[in-house]
Chains A and B, each alone.
Chain A
Amino acid sequence: MKPLKLFGLALGATLALSTAALADDLTIAVAGPMTGTESAFGRQMKNGAEMAVADINAAGGVLGKKLALDTEDDACDPKQARSVAEKIAGQGIPFVAGHYCSSSSIPASEAYADGNVLQITPASTNPTFTERKLWNVARVCGRDDQQGAVAAAYIAKNFKGKNIAILNDKTTYGKGLADETKKALNKAGVTEKLYESYNKGDKDFNAIVSRLKRENIDLVYVGGYHQEAGLILRQMRDQGLKTILMAGDAMADKEYASITGPAGEGTLFTFGPDPRKKPTAASIVDKFKAKNIDPEGYTLYTYAAMQVWSQAAKKAGTTDAKKVMDTIKAGSWDTVIGKLQYDSKGDIKQLDYVVYKWDASGNYAEINPKGS
Chain B
Amino acid sequence: MDYFAQQLINGLVLGSIYGLIAIGYTMVYGIVGMINFAHGDIFMIGGFIALISFLILVSIGLTAVPVILLIVLLVSMAITALYGWTVERIAYRPLRHSFRLAPMLSAIGMSFVLTNYSQVAQGARVKPVPPIITGGHTLHEGAEGFVVQLSNVQIVVVITTIVLLLLFTWLVSRTRLGRDMRACEQDQTMAALLGVDVDRTISMTFVIGAALAAVAGMMYLLYYGLVDFFMGFVAGIKAFTAAVLGGIGSLPGAMLGGLAIGLIETFWSAYFSVEYKDVAAFSILIVVLIFLPTGLLGRPEIEKV
* Residues in A lying within 8 Å of B, measured CB to CB: 34-37, 39-40, 170, 196-199, 201, 203-204, 206-208, 210-211, 213-214, 216, 227, 230-231, 234, 238-240, 255, 258-259, 261-263
Q: Are A206 and B14 in contact (CB under 8 A)?
A: yes
Task: Give the contact-size bracket for chain B.
Answer: 35 or more
> In this assembly, does B41 line the interface, its C-beta being within 8 Å of a C-beta of chain A?
no
B131 touches A263 (CB 8 A): yes
Interface residues of B in 148-164 (CB under 8 A from A): 149, 151, 153-154
A240 and B275 contacting across the interface, CB-CB below 8 Å: no
Q: How far is the CB of B232 from chain A (nearest CB, A)?
A: 12
Q: Contact at B124–A36, with CB atoms within 8 Å? A: yes
List the B side residues contacting A214 at CB < 8 Å: 3, 146
Inter-chain pairs besides A196-B274, A210-B3, A238-B151, 9 sampled, C-beta below 8 Å: A203-B220, A206-B14, A207-B7, A207-B267, A231-B225, A238-B136, A239-B151, A259-B226, A263-B131
The smallest beta-carbon distance between B26 and chain A, in angstroms, is 22
CB distance from B275 to the nearest CB of A (A): 5
Pick from A35, A170, A204, A239: contact of B224, CB under 8 Å:
A204
- Closest chain-B Cβ to A251's Cβ sits at a distance in Å of 14
A34 to B125, CA, bound (A): 9
Q: Which residues of A contact B138 (CB under 8 A)?
A: 240
Instruction: Using A210-B6, A227-B126 as known contacts, say yes or no to A261 and B131 having CB atoms under 8 A apart.
Output: yes
Q: Scoring B residues 220 to 263 as 1 if CB is less than 8 Å from chain A, else 0, what string do you get?
A: 10001110101100100000000000000000000000000000
Q: Give the contacts of B262-287 with A (CB-CB under 8 A).
A: 265-267, 269-270, 273-275, 277-278
Separation in Å of the B118 CB from the closest CB of chain A?
Answer: 12
Residues of chain B within 8 A of A239, CB atoms compared: 6, 136, 149, 151
Contact of A198 among B14, B234, B274 (CB under 8 A): B274
Neighbour of A231 across the interface among B14, B124, B224, CB < 8 A: B224
Find the B residue at minimum CB distance from A235: B224
Question: Within the complex, what minimum Cβ distance (angstroms) separates B269 from chain A?
Answer: 4
Enumerate chain B residues within 8 angstroms of A213, measured Cβ to Cβ.
6, 146-147
Counting chain B CB atoms within 10 Å of each CB, the highest count among A210, A231, A263 belongs to A210
7 A-B residue pairs with Cβ-Cβ distance under 8 Å, sorted by A, are A36-B124, A204-B10, A204-B265, A206-B10, A208-B269, A210-B270, A259-B226
How far apart are the CA atoms of A210 and B125 in the complex, in Å? 29
- Bound CA–CA A234/B134 (angstroms): 11
Does B202 interact with chain A (Cβ within 8 Å)?
no
Contacts of A199 in B (CB 8 A): 275, 278
Tell me the bound Cα distance from A218 to B5 in angstroms.
Answer: 22
Of A203, A208, A214, A240, most B-chain CB atoms within 10 Å: A203
- From A34, A204, A259, A262, give the contact of B14 (CB < 8 A): A204
B145 interfacial by beta-carbon distance below 8 Å: yes
B128 part of interface (Cβ distance < 8 Å): yes
B227 closest partner in A (C-beta):
A203
Q: How does the 8 Å CB contact mask read for B198-232 relative to A, with 1 for contact and 0 for none?
A: 00000000000000000000001000111010110
- Contact between A210 and B275 (Cβ–Cβ < 8 Å)? no
In this assembly, does B27 line the interface, its C-beta being within 8 Å of a C-beta of chain A? no
State whether the Cβ of B119 lies closer than 8 Å to any Cβ in chain A.
Answer: yes
Q: Taking the nearest CB of chain B, how far is it from the CB of A75, in angstroms?
A: 8
Q: For the complex, give the distance between the alpha carbons of A201 and B269 in Å.
A: 16
Residue of B nearest to A201 (CB): B234
Q: Is B107 an interface residue (CB 8 A)?
A: no
- Report which of B125, B147, B231, B267 forms a contact with A240, defined as CB distance below 8 A: B147
**B274-A203 in contact (CB<8A):** no
Nearest-neighbour CB distance to chain B for A217, whole angstroms, equals 12
A243 to chain B, nearest CB (A): 13
> Contact partner of B273 among A34, A40, A196, A259, CB < 8 A?
A196
- Contact in complex: B126, A255 (CB < 8 Å): yes
B145 touches A216 (CB 8 A): yes
Contacting residues, chain B, for A35 (C-beta < 8 A)? 119, 124-125
Write the chain B residue with the least CB distance to A240: B149
- Whole-angstrom distance between the Cβ of B52 and the nearest chain A Cβ: 16
A258 touches B128 (CB 8 A): yes
Contact partners of B3 in chain A: CB under 8 A:
210, 214
Interface centre among B7, B226, B275 (most CB of A within 10 A): B226
**What's the nearest-Cβ distance from chain A to residue B16, in Å?**
12
Question: Smallest Cβ distance from A31 to chain B, in angstroms?
Answer: 15
The CA-CA distance from A208 to B272 in the complex, in Å, is 11
Output the nearest chain A residue to B270 by Cβ-Cβ distance.
Answer: A207
In the complex, chain B residues whose CB is within 8 Å of the CB of A198: 274-275
How many Å lie between the Cα of A71 and that of B277 in the bound state? Answer: 37
- For the complex, what is the distance from the CA of A71 to the CA of B274, rounded to whole Å? 37
B300 in contact (CB, < 8 A): no
**Which residues on A sit within 8 Å (CB–CB) of B296?**
none
Chain A residue nearest in CB terms to B9:
A206
| A255 partner residues in chain B, CB cutoff 8 A | 126, 128
Inside 8 A of B153's CB, which chain A residues have their CB? 238
Q: In the bound complex, what is the Cα–Cα distance between A170 and B273 (angstroms)?
A: 13
Instruction: Say whether, besides A204-B14, A259-B226, A210 and B274 are in contact (CB < 8 Å).
Output: no
B13 interface residue per 8 A CB criterion = yes
Q: Is B130 an interface residue (CB 8 A)?
A: yes
Known contacts A35-B119, A204-B224; A259/B275 CB under 8 A: no
Q: Mark B1-21, 1 if CB is under 8 A from A, else 0.
A: 001001100110110000000
Q: Mark B147-187, 1 if CB is under 8 A from A, else 0.
A: 10101011000000000000000000000000000000000
CB contact list, B32-70 vs A, under 8 A = none
7 closest A-B pairs (Cβ-Cβ)?
Answer: A35-B124, A207-B269, A206-B10, A261-B130, A240-B149, A259-B128, A238-B151
Q: Which residues of A contact B277 (CB under 8 A)?
A: 207
Residues of chain A within 8 A (CB-CB) of B269 are: 207-208, 211
Chain B residues near A261: list those with CB within 8 A: 130-131, 225
Do A197 and B131 touch (CB < 8 A)? no
Q: Determine whether the beta carbon of B224 is less than 8 Å from that of A197.
A: no
